[in-house]
Amino acid sequence: MLLLTCPFCGPRDESEFAHGGYARKQRPDNPQMMSDDAWVDYLTVPDNPMGPVREKWWHVRGCGTYFTVERDTRTHDITDEGESHAS
Amino acid sequence: MGYHAHIERLDTSAIIDLKGRKDALVDWKGSDLPAIPERPNTATDANGLELYWIGNDHWLLRAPLDREEDILRTFDPGSAPHDVSAVLVSDTLVFFSITGPDAGQILSIVSPLDIALEAFTQNGVSYSEAFGLKALIIRRTEGYELAVERSYADMAQSYFTRIKG
Amino acid sequence: MPASARRLPTGGIIDRSKSIGFRFNGKSYSGFAGDTLASALIANGVSLTARSFKYHRPRGIVGAGHEEPGSLVELVGDEQSANQPITTVRLRDGLDARSVNCWPSPHFDLMGINQLFSRFIPAAFYYKTFMWPNWHLFEPHIRRAAGLASAPDALLHQGLYETRHGHCDILVVGAGPAGLTAALAAARAGARVMLVDDQMQAGGSLSGLAENLDGRHALQWVDDVVAELDALANVVRLRSATAWAYREHNLIMVTERAPDEDHVFQRTWRVRARQVIIATGAIERAMVFADNDRPGIMMASAAQIYVNRYAVAPGQRAVVFTNNNSAYRVAAEMKAAGIEVAAIIDSRTDIDDAARSLAAGIEICQGQVVSRSEGRRRVKAAVIRSAAGGSERRIACDLLVMSGGWNPAVHLFSQSRGSLRYDTGIEAFVPDRAVQACLCAGSASGLFTLSGAIEDGAEKARLALRACGLDSPNAKLPTTVSELPYTIEALWHVEQDNPAAKSFVDIQNDVTLNDVHLAMREGFGAVEHVKRYTTAGMGIDQGKTGNINVIGAIANRAGQDLQDIGTTTFRSPYVPIEFGAIGGQREGPVVLPYRHTPITDWHRQAGAEMYEAGARWRRPGYYPLKGESFQQTVDRESLAVREGVGVYDGAPLGKFEIKGPDAGKFLDLLYTNVFSTLKTGMGRYGLMLTDDGIILDDGVSFKLGDNHFLMSTSTGHADEVNRHMEHVLQIERPQWQVMITTVTTQWANATVCGPKARQLVEKLCTDIDLSAEAFPFMAMREGTVAGIAARICRVSFTGELSFEINVAARHFAKLWDKIMEAGGPMGIVPVGSEANHVLRVEKGFLSLGHEADGTTDAYDLGMGWIMSKKKPDYIGKRSVEIRRAKDRPRRELVGLLIDDPARLVTEGAPVTPEGRRQASEGLVTACVHSVALKRSVALALLEDGRARIGQKAHIRMKDDVVSAEITAPCFYDPDGERLRS
């Protein structure tokens, strides 16, 4: 059970959160301008490292903030507590 | 036997959900609100109104139910500026009070929130997880209050009865 | 010695004033409060307590705690539970236990015949034999012959399993000398401290020794420390509590087996600690020699504990076999208790004088080993010889205690992913580098003296406090008497004189030295392979007393160091944990969450069959009247809506207020169609996709004012839509100003539907013009209904004229009563989800999970009109294009009229060409008895369906093929006149 640090609430138990997917590149403004392959790539090909991965967490049973952290997939060590996405 | 704690379902409170930047909120109704809390997940109160800061640009204003008409007039959702959202959500939350010497034990069974005074201060209020659900937890002098979404209230009651013993 | 004389006349931490009766294998015995089942049986002269797992060899009591490899028992009666080590069962009134894995008794075990076949059933025999013609033939018999105990057949009724959360600055695991010292220092410094120990009595190793500490009996020092800790508000001390898992981010699982509260049977804690001090002590290792498993052969430290803690003598005449100093103290204490110690067999070449003088009066056989034991149901002699070989000598004994050295208990540390290294000084694996915030103290870190343990406890507390930003108080450590240093010469096993001899490396799983060598010969020489090939270390004891001997055997045979061989991975749980302890109070009505509407009670009173409707809601399925069949009820409710008036509880529908200057833009991005152009007071049906083109949800959103919308979603996907919206807003469009508030349970809605709906609502609502001109389909109006402030929406999921009346949830029961009252003369009925289903199928309306199944898009469903061509982009647009561009037949929504109008088919039934048994070309998504057409109707997804309207389709059912005519997917009022009326 991870201990995640919400930018608003501070360190909280994993049971307050939902995994928000890996932190992919920002959704392009113009999907229409992209080739089919590029679009499918953006949607379906994530980074899958054995090591630090950037991912989002949603504080669903908490303040509702989405934030990004860097977590090592081998050890669960949080190597970078990212910033909140909320303005 | 069981724990020495008293768990009671409370009457509905009047609650307005407020969203928007702090300065926009203060511009709109700063003089009618209690002071804006300074630290995240804390509460302030004034004139029978409580103001909870429970998220980024997100507050709950709470009052006894008989003041609902009153606060709806003051914080009229229809007259809020475009950058402030005021929505009546009184019926969405059901509050339980948890009092007695073992109140803290009950909390530690239902939620992973650290409720020690150092971690959850005197005027602490926070959303957290309880029985797998989203719950609002408030520290009171006599113990705690815990609120869940109305539809889950029967389940929460059942759960409390079970763990109290 | 008569049985009664096995109990020593004085001493022990037992309460001789409280006698306890118990049963074992059907016979009655008695013991004292404070005894374990093992100590009480020893006191009664019982030594044969089990039969082994595979060979059914006679076995006895080997240890004194959870490391016990020899005997497992199952408890019967009220406390039924299986596979408890005999040494961990506390004696209590009414205890009734029996040995596992032997029948009818350990004394006369019919399965003992296995011993004759032992040559044919070495390690891994089941991979190589019992294969032909089909291994499944043999499996049931092998399973019956193997296995341990039986599962309990009754529910626990003496209290519940509780789980809870704990938080502290410093968690100390183990209340032995190191742990107590550390906990005391941390507590005095003001840290939040939790101290957990798996015994009822604190003290750890001290409770098994006759030791002096700080000028008084060690247990007196323990009591003083415990009293000080218990008086401090910042300390939580748990007894009979085992820390069994070390998880990520310093989360430790602890289960308390005997909580103070009567109503709690066991309590499991999830403790989040800033710092953990692991003071779990050390576990003694067995010696490996031929027939080292006979009853009467036990660990030296266990014998010491039985003498000192339980005041029982495990035998009359003992031989001690050791490779280290610690057994000398045991020999001296046994002698002082009246046990005759015939000899100490010490395999080492060097024995220091201090050890010798401790064992004054006892013969010491230096450089000798025990090559085998003799005896059948109990050991009766040890056969010894020189370590180098040579002539044998037989020493008669009824107790043979062994000490192969000590292993620091590194399990929790290892679970935390800390690394181990082999220490040649103590010939054991010790903690090396920590990866999480934890420290090992005392013998858990390889310090095997009392003074060393105490100093280390203080030092580790100091480090842990500093990491928490606290200073350590200066305190005087308790003084210790001078002790024997710990010296050892490794002896991983005694070379077998007879190659067929059985020298056990894992007593519980019947694994011998020969099995280890066999595994290596077969190519399974890596330590993890040896473990799995032989099953060594895979029993309930997890090889606590024997794994190191396996590693040593591999190292010897491979000619490598133990450091290079390494250990197998340590996994949780450290001791067996019951499922109930992990699940806690989540059973019965609270095992899964459930949600109620404000009138769930009314539905129940009205006799509704309640269903689980998605997102955990309980909703009425149908309301059967007395004597009605299911079909009659559903027909009646559906007919009421088609011809009169019905009402259903729509409270669970997801509802969100969406405000802000960018709200319109936001909805345009989320939905496939345009919403920003909606007029205030009007609503629009919309479809929401995910970015990979799958239908996420459908619903109706209304414009309530400038920059103000009310979105409604399906019941089942409300939570998912909420997540989706927050994700889009916070991650994809953080610069947009949109504020979303969930109001699902603020508004409860009663949907009045049917041709008489307007008539009914007019009776209750006088301040809104409900006529079709003033209040068109898809509009929303605010006013009062039955005296309650309400929002009324004209939406229809049934295809009839409908008014969805929304009021604050606290007024809903009153509204519902008023509707039922006003509708009484019109024959109003409450309508459940079954009837709703019939009505929507008649109309061909979309239902998520049926027609929208993750493969179909709006075009397939005949809803191409909803995919805006004006908007350059919305979520899902790009992906739908890519999917449709593929050269693959699409399944389209059609209706089916089955040739036999009375015939129904199952949802999901496949449609195949001519009904042949081949890959399907579609499936039935719904099939109901239509009250409008008075016959069955079905909806289906069919390849190229729209082009085949008028043709036949064939549905494969289990026993026959059903043919049907393909029609348009709407059977009633296709122009929607009724719902727009």
For residue C879, count CB atoms less than 10 angstroms from its CB and return exposed for 0-12, middle for 13-18, buried for 19 or more: buried
* Residue A83 in contact with partner chain C when CB distance is under 8 A: no
Q: Is there a contact between A62 and B58 if contact means CB atoms under 8 Å apart? A: no
Question: What is the pLDDT at residue A49?
Answer: 86
Among the partner-chain residues B40, B55, B112, the one whose CB lies closest to the CB of A15 is B112
Q: Is there a contact between A64 and B55 if contact means CB atoms under 8 Å apart? A: yes
The string of pLDDT tens digits covering residues C149-190 is: 777 777 666 678 999 999 999 999 999 999 999 999 999 999
Among B23, B113, B129, most A C-beta atoms within 10 A, so best to mutate, is B129
Is residue C78's pLDDT more than 70?
no
3-state DSSP call for residue B152?
Answer: helix
Task: Tell me the C-alpha distance between C652 and C637, whole Å.
Answer: 20
Helix (H) or strand (E) holding C327, with range, is helix C326-336
Among the partner-chain residues A3, A32, A56, the one whose CB lies closest to the CB of C873 is A32
Is residue C210's pLDDT more than 80?
no
Residues C29-56, mean pLDDT to the nearest whole number: 93
Q: Is there a contact between C593 and B155 if contact means CB atoms under 8 Å apart? A: yes
Is residue C386's pLDDT more than 80?
yes
Q: Is there a contact between A20 and C731 if contact means CB atoms under 8 Å apart? A: yes
For residue C581, what is the DSSP state? Answer: H
Question: What is the pLDDT at residue C198?
Answer: 93
Percentage with pLDDT > 70 across chain C: 97
The band of C103, judged by pLDDT with boundaries at 50, 70 and 90, is low
- Select from B154, B153, B136 the least CA-distant residue to B145: B136
Pairing of strands B49-55, B58-64: antiparallel
Pairing of strands B133-140, B125-130: antiparallel
Among the partner-chain residues A2, A43, A64, the one whose CB lies closest to the CB of C726 is A64
Using an 8 Å CB-CB cutoff, list chain C residues near B155. 589-590, 593-596
* C-beta neighbour count of C300 within 10 angstroms: 26
Task: Calculate the CA C335 to chain-centre distance.
Answer: 48
Question: What is the pLDDT at residue C1?
Answer: 45
Across A45-54, C125-134, C337-346, C852-861, least confident range: C125-134
Among the partner-chain residues A8, A10, A16, the one whose CB lies closest to the CB of B56 is A8
Helix (H) or strand (E) holding C925, with range, is strand C922-930
The string of pLDDT tens digits covering residues B69-81 is: 999 999 999 999 9
The band of C626, judged by pLDDT with boundaries at 50, 70 and 90, is very high
The band of C104, judged by pLDDT with boundaries at 50, 70 and 90, is low
CA distance A64 to chain B (A): 7
Task: Tell me the C-alpha distance between C835 and C637, whole Å.
Answer: 6
Task: Tell me the C-alpha distance between C506 and C791, whole Å.
Answer: 74
Domains of chain B: 6-10+92-164 (3.30.1360.120), 13-90 (3.30.70.1520)
φ, ψ at C741 (rounded to 5°): -125, 130
Question: What is the pLDDT at residue C158?
Answer: 66
C751 with C804: CB under 8 angstroms?
yes
Taken as a whole, chain C contains a residue count of 981
Helices C513-521 + C527-534 axis angle, to 10: 120
* DSSP one-letter string for C428-465: EEEE---SSSEEE-GGGGT--SHHHHHHHHHHHHHHHH
State the chains in contact with A (3 or more Cβ–Cβ pairs under 8 Å): B, C
Q: Is there a contact between A15 and B132 if contact means CB atoms under 8 Å apart? A: yes
What is the count of structural domains for chain A? 1
Sheet-wide strand order for C297-299:
C297-299, C399-403, C317-322, C340-346, C363-366
The string of pLDDT tens digits covering residues A12-51 is: 999 999 999 888 777 888 888 999 999 998 888 888 889 9
* Residue A34 in contact with partner chain C when CB distance is under 8 A: yes
φ, ψ at B5 (rounded to 5°): -145, 150
Percentage with pLDDT > 90 across chain C: 83
Task: Calculate the CA C839 to chain-centre distance.
Answer: 43
Using an 8 Å CB-CB cutoff, list chain B residues near A60. 134
- Max intra-chain CA distance, chain A: 42
The band of C849, judged by pLDDT with boundaries at 50, 70 and 90, is confident
Is residue C589's pLDDT more than 80?
no
How many CB pairs below 8 A link A and B?
A: 52
Q: Which residues of C219-246 are buried (b: 16+ CB within 10 A; e: fewer)?
A: bebbeebbeebeeeebbbbbbbbbbbbb
At A68, which CATH number? 3.30.2270.10
Which residues span the domain enclosing A33? 3-85
Task: Tell me the C-alpha distance between C39 and C31, whole Å.
Answer: 8
The two counts, helices (H) then strands (E), for chain B are 4, 10
Question: What is the pLDDT at residue C117?
Answer: 67
* Residue B133 in contact with partner chain A when CB distance is under 8 A: yes
Question: What is the pLDDT at residue C475?
Answer: 84
Question: What is the pLDDT at residue C510?
Answer: 94
Q: Is there a contact between C593 and B152 if contact means CB atoms under 8 Å apart? A: yes
Residues C707-713, mean pLDDT to the nearest whole number: 96
The string of pLDDT tens digits covering residues C752-810 is: 999 999 999 999 999 999 999 999 999 999 999 999 999 999 999 999 999 999 999 99
Identify the closest residue of chain C to B132 by CA–CA distance.
C593
Is residue C422's pLDDT more than 80?
yes
For residue C709, list its beta bridge partners. C658, C703
Residues C321-341, mean pLDDT to the nearest whole number: 96
How many CB pairs below 8 A link A and C?
A: 63
Question: What is the pLDDT at residue C614?
Answer: 79
Question: What is the pLDDT at residue C133?
Answer: 74
Is residue C101's pLDDT more than 80?
no
Question: What is the pLDDT at residue C771?
Answer: 95
The band of A87, judged by pLDDT with boundaries at 50, 70 and 90, is very low
Task: Tell me the C-alpha distance between C485 and C324, whole Å.
Answer: 10
Across chain C, what does the average pLDDT equal? 93
Question: What is the pLDDT at residue C116?
Answer: 65
The string of pLDDT tens digits covering residues C213-269 is: 888 889 999 999 999 999 999 999 999 999 999 999 999 999 999 899 988 989 999
- Max intra-chain CA distance, chain C: 115
Cα–Cα distances (Å) from C779 to C681, C683, C703, C758, in that order, read 6, 6, 9, 14
pTM of the model: 0.93
Whether the ω angle into residue C573 lies within 30 degrees of 0, i.e. cis, is yes
pLDDT < 70 regions, chain B = none
The band of C31, judged by pLDDT with boundaries at 50, 70 and 90, is very high
Cα–Cα distances (Å) from A57 to C646, C724, C861, in that order, read 44, 13, 35
Q: Is there a contact between B85 and C262 if contact means CB atoms under 8 Å apart? A: no
- Select from B58, A13, B8, B30 the least CA-distant residue to C726: B58
- Select from C947, C945, C907 the least CA-distant residue to C924: C907
Higher pLDDT pick, A46 / C721: C721
